[in-house]
Amino acid sequence: MTMHNQHQGSCLCGAVTYRVSGELKAVTHCHCRKCQKSHGAAFASYASAPRATVSISDDSAALKDYESSPGVLRQFCCQCGSSLFWWDAQGEFSTWMSIAIATLDTPFAAPRQKHHCVAMKASWHEISDHYPQLE
């Protein structure tokens, strides 16, 4: 397996670690209010992978779930508060998981990216890159 399609990541305190044994796709910067609140930032940046390719190590049982909308599960470390994953169990991509790319510990290059939910973007933040913007 080449380095570019195997990634490792962790939460801030290291209680939760993960490995992705496949390519990360669909890099999105989400500006919805739920992502803003979850990350405490203007937006959250995610990449997606099939859930079957994500292996999570959580020896201290720190990974907790929160259902932010019906069928939408967000996971975070209860020790340090790091937002790590989310997926929509009822949606079209229910077998895929979105991973907060700032939690990656390995290099990751994302040539194609997009902004999502820009109608909800923070009023104090200006999007200044050239990536597509979707409502």
Pick the CATH number of 3-120 from 3.40.350.10, 3.90.1590.10, 3.40.50.2000, 3.30.300.30: 3.90.1590.10
Cα-trace Rg, the chain: 15
Mean pLDDT of 27-46: 95
Helix (H, G, I), strand (E, B) or coil at 36: helix
Q: What is the dihedral of CA 58, 55, 77, 43, to 10 degrees?
A: 170
How far, in whole angstroms, is CA 101 from its chain's centroid? Answer: 6
Beta strands 17-20 and 44-50, pairing class: unpaired
pLDDT at res. 2: 40
pLDDT at res. 1: 38
pLDDT at res. 4: 57
Grade residue 32 by pLDDT with cuts at 50, 70 and 90.
very high
For all residues of the chain together, what is the average pLDDT? Answer: 93
% of residues, the chain, pLDDT over 70: 97
Q: Where are the alpha helices (DSSP H) in 21-123?
A: 33-39
pLDDT of 3 strictly over 80: no
DSSP letter at 15?
S
What pTM value is reported for the model? 0.89
Helix (H, G, I), strand (E, B) or coil at 3: helix
Parse the chain into domains and list their residue ranges: 3-120
CB distance 93 to 51 below 8 Å: no
Mean pLDDT of 94-111: 94
pLDDT at res. 91: 84
Mean pLDDT of 53-61: 94
